[in-house]
Structures are given as structure tokens and as C-alpha cells.
Amino acid sequence: MRVYTLDNPVFATYVIAAALMVLKLMGQGWMTVYRMMKSNSGLASPEDAQKGLLNAAPDPSQLEVNDYVDRSRRMHRNDLENIPGFWVAGLLFVAVNPAVWLAQVLMYGFVAARAAHFVAYATKQSHEVRATFYTIGSLIVIYMALHVLWVVLF
């Protein structure tokens, strides 16, 4: 059976979830850009504190770490630690032909968990709230990888 085709509802589910996570990940970069421009600080490289279109009044203090901007970078790093693992585990999961409902619960569940993690991190919720959504997303990825290994090896 061909699995990597849009006729397969499991693959279609994967394509939707994976594309949404592409938008989430790329959007986080733009949130950092927005926060750098709004706060006029948290710049990454020495040459960024020069006069230019993006920086009308340069100042060396613009290169210092600023929690408003750095929070977006930490969110980005957390995404990088979780989303690529989902992309690959999901792609492999499609290969082993799981039930459609299971793929939908896991893949849309991951998208929902990461959306909730985003809100919790951006609004500075307690470590417990953020950790809960991180855990849900991480366990979904780990489950998919274990399921794949089980089917292929046994």
C-alpha cells in the first residue's frame, strides 16, 4: 500500500499538523524580530548597534540581554528541541500505517500542546503549567517513535 500520498488520511493528517508547526516555528522568529524592534534592544550581533534603517538611535546597551526579547528566543529554542522531533516521528509513524483516529489524536494533540505551551510561556505562567504542556508534546513524540520501532522490529 502506498502511504505517502494525500489519499491516505493518516498522511493528510500529518501534512496538516506538520505545516501548522512550520508556521509556528517560523512565526517565533518573527515574534523575536517584533520584540527587538518594539523594545529597541536585545540585538544579537555587535554590528546591529549601528545607525541604520532598523536602528535610528544606536546604543551599546542594545546588545545586552533583555528578558522581553530573550523570552522569545527561549521559546524558539524550546520549539527547536521539540518540533523537528515531531516532524520526523510523525513522518515515520505514517510508514507503519496506524489507525486514522490514533494519528489524529496524537498529531493534533501535539499541535494543541505546543500552542498551549506557547501561550503559557508568552504570558509567564508558572513553571508547572509550562512543564505540563511540554510533557504532553514530548510524550506524544516519544510514543510515536516507540510505536514505529515496535512495528518494524517485532
What is the binding site for a copy of itself (CB under 8 A)? Answer: 2-6, 11-12, 15-16, 18-23, 25-26, 28-30, 33, 43-48, 50, 52-55, 67, 71, 74, 76, 80-85, 87-89, 91-92, 95-96, 121, 124-128, 131, 134, 138, 141-142, 144-146, 148-149, 152-153
By beta-carbon proximity to a copy of itself, the closer residue of 105 and 131 is 131
CA distance 130 to 105: 21
Whole-angstrom distance between the N-terminal and C-terminal Cα of the chain? 20
CB of 105 to a copy of itself, least distance (A): 19
Residue 115: in which H helix or E strand, if any? helix 100-122
For residue 97, is it left (φ>0), alpha (ψ between -120 and 50) or beta? Answer: left
By beta-carbon proximity to a copy of itself, the closer residue of 87 and 108 is 87
Rg (CA), the chain: 19
CB of 101 to a copy of itself, least distance (A): 19
By beta-carbon proximity to a copy of itself, the closer residue of 67 and 101 is 67
Helices (H) and strands (E) in the chain, counts: 4, 0
By beta-carbon proximity to a copy of itself, the closer residue of 105 and 152 is 152
Sign (positive or negative) of CA dihedral 27, 90, 107, 138: negative
By beta-carbon proximity to a copy of itself, the closer residue of 105 and 122 is 122
| Per-residue cell: 20 | 501548522
Length of the chain: 154
CB of 57 to a copy of itself, least distance (A): 14
CB of 117 to a copy of itself, least distance (A): 12
